[in-house]
Chain A
Amino acid sequence: MTKNEKPKLAMYWSSSCGGCEVSVLNIHEKILTVDEVFDIAFFPCIADFKTKDVEAYPDGHITVCLWNGAIRNSENEEMAHLLRKKSTFMVAFGSCAYEGCIPALSNLTSKEATFNTVYKDNPTIDNPEGIIPLTSVQVPEGELTIPEFYNTVKSLDQVVDVDYYLPGCPPEPEQIWAVLQVIVGALLEGAPLPPKGSIVGASNVAVCEGCEREKSEKAIDRFYRPYEIVPEPDVCLLEQGLVCMGLATRGGCGALCPSVGIGCRGCYGPMPGVEDQGAKMLSAIASVISAGHESMEEAELEERIQTVVDTIADPAGTFYRFSMAHSLLQRAKVNGSNGKGEAA
């Protein structure tokens, strides 16, 4: 980047819902400042660019690439390598890029099972011949190819080197703006950048810190699913039996979900130093199950605890809703096979 040249911004949408792009636009009129400061180098969601345009850039040409989405298929991975090469700063933008997010919940099953659900078993599907996508098909005009669908969804940093992480599903506009300001400040005024590998746009304290609900010591005798009860307005949701991940989740969002009566889903990922958000949440929540006392016989203890445990319908899906790809086990072992799809 020469002195008079504007820094280049890219944003790419891989395996995700697109909410992250909307979230960027949610910085409202500040988007004009972004436009003023940056040249848009690649942003398929809002402007027409082709892959070959990017391939033509010199390495490191793009100053900042905001990568949104998990690595679901071979195209995602190829693009990740390409953009990594062409970008100075690679930012894992949003939960999918950071830790797998909703797409990575399919790591609880296999590629085969996913295809069966999507293309065969779904009641709204009419597919009598049971056709499922193939990576390569011969047609009269020649060979048609589509990207390979992986068995295991990965986060961005599991395929390329990542400079910064901006968590959230999607990241909060204020946080996006703050991060952009830091980057712009560094580029224009030589302000220091956070160390490589930092999580930016988030807090080092869990969501509970910002939650206004009254918290007491916890003793839970059963859990409820959100539709089963109407929570008390000012009391900690977890204490009411609603699974709220706020205590095991990095803050920075301003405790938005709990403030409107929905338990935190955990999208900002684990706290610093926590290896596995799901396991940590499980530990905390199980610790405050009130059933069972040391004076009970083992059989009674077992039965009482099991009864409470049974009220949590889907622990893996609940506790790893956002962090499956980044979790210690990363995926489920399926059908007795080792679940190993593509080369690791």
Chain B
Amino acid sequence: MSETYEPVIVGFLCNWCSYRAADLAGTARIKYAPNMRAIRVMCSGRVDPQFVMKALREGADGVMIAGCHPGECHYVNGNIKAMRRFYLLRKMLTQLGVEEERVQLIWASASEGILLAEKVDQMTEALRALGPLNWDEKVVNRSNGYKAAEVAPVLEEA
């Protein structure tokens, strides 16, 4: 790894609150770490834990899931489901040796551009302290997801 390590965060931002918060941070010209690469989802409830695993496997140093504050979800309670998954995921990721700082769940309403910017800055610093994750170097190739073929008996009973 080069000396100037810049952590890379994949951010899953919900369409209604946190993505707009990030838009607002930009519109307000708030300067913060350009280390988060945002992916828009309609709701934090859409974030499948597989996405988190995928991002870590593909080389992200951290993953941020950002949604509307509890009680403010555009879809009433998608963020509560995100929260339930996140807590269990965090427990499992601990078993897999992934430090807690690397996967974070935050809330930012559409008006909280500053808060979102601060959270990205804080997470970037935390990851800088932890160092790179480099998961892609740890895993071997694999293939998966095949469709089962129809299995039809063709042999007569002997």
Contact = CB atoms under 8 A, between A and B. Distances in A.
Contacts of A291: 84
Interface in B63-105: 69-71, 73, 76-77, 79-81, 83-85, 87-89, 91-92, 95-98
Contacts of A287: 81, 84-85
Interface stretch (B2-10, B120-128, B145-153): B145-153
A328 B147 contact: no
Interface string A82-119: 00000000000000000000000000100000000000
Given A158-B142, A334-B97, A294 B80 contact: yes
Given A152-B140, A286-B84, A338-B134, A315 B148 contact: no
Given A197-B143, A200-B151, A280-B48, A294 B92 contact: no
B158 A279 contact: no
Nearest to A203: B148
B27 interface: no
Contact of A294 (B71, B87, B89, B134): B71
A202 B146 CA distance: 11
A73 interface: no
Contacts of B70: 294, 296-298, 301
B151 A194 contact: yes
- Size category of the binding interface on chain A: 35 or more
Contacts of A306: 87
Contacts of A199: 146-149
Contacts of A283: 48-50, 85
Contact of B148 (A272, A276, A329): A272
Contacts of A162: 143
Interface string A13-37: 0000000000000000010110011
B36 interface: no
A330 B138 contact: yes
Interface in B14-49: 48-49
B114 interface: no
A197 B149 CA distance: 9
Interface stretch (A129-137, A174-182, A259-267): A174-182
A331 B139 contact: yes
Interface in A204-256: 204, 250, 252
B140 A276 contact: no
- Which of B73, B81, B84, B95: most chain A CB closer than 10 A? B84
A340 B138 contact: yes
A128 interface: no
Contact of B89 (A108, A270, A282): A282
Contacts of B145: 270, 272-275
A315 B91 contact: yes
B87 to A, nearest CB: 5
Given A154-B140, A280-B50, A32 B151 contact: no
Given A293-B80, A294-B80, A344-B140, A279 B53 contact: yes
Contact of A282 (B88, B97, B133, B134): B88
A281 to B, nearest CB: 9
A252 to B, nearest CB: 8
Contacts of A293: 77, 80
Nearest to A157: B143
Interface string B99-115: 00000000100000000
Interface of A: 30, 32-33, 36-37, 108, 152, 154-155, 157-158, 162, 165, 175, 177-182, 184-186, 189, 191, 194-195, 197-204, 250, 252, 270, 272-276, 278-280, 282-283, 285-287, 289, 291-298, 301-302, 305-306, 308-309, 312, 314-317, 319, 325-334, 338-340, 344
6 contacts: A178-B151, A185-B155, A282-B88, A298-B107, A315-B88, A344-B140
Top 3 closest A-B pairs, CB basis? A185-B154, A194-B149, A333-B97
